[in-house]
């Protein structure tokens, strides 16, 4: 079996690349080659170029037919239109990686499955993904274009720590605040449920859909069945760090109004909403699928990796100062109420 992954070295896709090589797939990775990985193997082929340079892409894949093409870096309708023109005669299956944040906000029912309506007025990122899905399903209905849509929720690996309130510098500045004994911000009251999935588990479901004729024309969500409150998520991280969690709860609406970051989409359009997933469809299409990495296990791996790799410990003094300022303002407002 021959697969082309566009991207293939990111948080979600690296584990998929590793699993495909383990299972003996002939794997082509098309990306700019900017990310360093340990991927090796006789069946691994690198195609270093910009996917938007269509003429060069066609030159580099000339004469190659794929069983599966999967795009992990398509975010707008023009991206899937480009892929349609490039690969419609060159693959038996095209997999688009969408997002579970495309599901309606607010939810009409707490349990989410593939039949949950798609509508997110808070986040343009999600709306663009919905537009991509609409384009592909139209091509499937009208032409039989062999599209499969995959909807991940919050997927993490050793290079990624799932947090909600963070700055442009990523997760480390929040972790560093915990290590320094400083308070960290949790949105809302921390009681909303969230589902986190380790990339190894995501890869099991994804690879099971590759080359699967029953997945053609279908949208499938891939998540674990483990739902935790945000309080539990932050507490698990603190426990793994062996530090006391000093949490301050701040409403998502206030964070959206007071923050220079995209809390409107990231919180109101995603993480502030309870998400619990019904994965019966995935388990029917991929018999035996089960997520086996508990969050406390996976996050311990991630934190160890961060500690062992100094280059990941990128400070963000702007975010750190913003946190301190916000917490000071809240403390002052509370004190004023008792004067």
- For residue range 250-278, what is the model confidence (pLDDT) as tens digits? 999 999 998 888 899 999 999 999 999 99
Q: Give residue 215's pLDDT.
A: 98
pLDDT at residue 55 greater than cutoff 90:
yes
Question: pTM of the predicted model, to two decimals?
Answer: 0.95
Q: Is the dihedral of CA 72, 96, 133, 265 positive or negative?
A: negative
Phi, psi for residue 310 in degrees, rounded to 5: -60, -30
DSSP string, 195-262: EEEEHHHHHHHHHHHTT-GGGTT-EEEE--S-EEEHHHHHHHHHHHHTS---EEEE-HHHHHHH-SS-
The 8-class DSSP code of residue 271 comes to I
Is the per-residue pLDDT at 65 higher than 90?
yes
> What confidence category does residue 35 fall into, taking pLDDT thresholds of 50, 70 and 90?
confident
Instruction: Find the mean pLDDT for residues 83-101.
Output: 97
Average pLDDT, the chain: 95
Q: Which helix (H) or strand (E) holds 55?
A: helix 54-60
pLDDT tens digit sequence for 171-186: 999 999 999 999 999 9
**Closest listed residue to residue 280, CA positions, set 226, 202, 220:** 220
Q: Which are the contacts of 46, defined by CB distance < 8 A and separation ≥ 6?
A: 28, 29, 33
Lowest mean pLDDT among 112-126, 188-202, 252-266: 252-266
Confidence of residue 32 (pLDDT cuts 50, 70, 90): confident
41 CB-near residues (< 8 Å, 6+ apart): 21, 27
Helix, strand, or coil here: 5?
A: strand
Strand partners, 69: 4, 94
Q: What is the pLDDT of residue 156?
A: 96
Residue 242 pLDDT class (50, 70, 90 cuts): very high
């Amino acid at each position: 079996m021959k697969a082309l992954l566009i991207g293939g070295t990111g948080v979600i896709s690296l584990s998929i690349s590793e699993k495909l090589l383990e299972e003996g797939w002939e794997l082509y990775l098309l990306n700019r080659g900017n990310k360093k990985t340990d991927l090796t193997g006789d069946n691994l082929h690198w195609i270093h170029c910009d996917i938007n340079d269509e003429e060069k892409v066609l030159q580099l894949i000339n004469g190659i037919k794929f069983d599966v093409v999967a795009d992990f870096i398509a975010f707008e309708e023009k991206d899937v239109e480009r892929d349609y023109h490039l690969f419609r005669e060159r693959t038996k299956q095209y997999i688009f990686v969408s997002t579970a944040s495309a599901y309606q906000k607010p939810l009409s029912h707490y349990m989410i499955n593939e039949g949950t309506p798609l509508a997110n007025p808070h986040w343009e990122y999600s709306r663009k993904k919905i537009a991509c899905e609409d384009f592909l399903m139209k091509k499937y209905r009208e032409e039989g274009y062999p599209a499969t849509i995959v909807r991940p929720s919050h997927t993490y690996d050793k290079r990624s720590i799932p947090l909600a309130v963070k700055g442009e510098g990523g997760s480390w500045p929040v972790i560093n605040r915990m290590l320094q004994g400083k308070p960290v911000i949790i949105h809302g009251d921390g009681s909303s449920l969230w589902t986190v999935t380790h990339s190894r588990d995501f890869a099991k479901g994804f690879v099971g859909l590759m080359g699967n004729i029953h997945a053609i024309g279908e949208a499938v969500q891939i998540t674990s069945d483990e739902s935790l409150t945000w309080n539990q998520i932050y507490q698990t991280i603190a426990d793994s760090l062996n530090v006391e969690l000093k949490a301050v709860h701040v409403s998502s609406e206030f964070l959206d109004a007071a923050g220079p970051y995209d809390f409107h989409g990231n919180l109101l359009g995603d993480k502030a909403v309870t998400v619990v997933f019904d994965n019966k469809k995935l388990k029917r299409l991929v018999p035996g699928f089960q997520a086996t990495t508990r969050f406390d296990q996976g996050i311990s791996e991630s934190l160890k990796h961060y500690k062992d790799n100094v280059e990941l410990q990128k400070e963000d003094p702007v975010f750190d100062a913003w946190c301190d300022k916000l917490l000071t303002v809240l403390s002052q407002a509370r004190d004023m109420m008792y004067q």
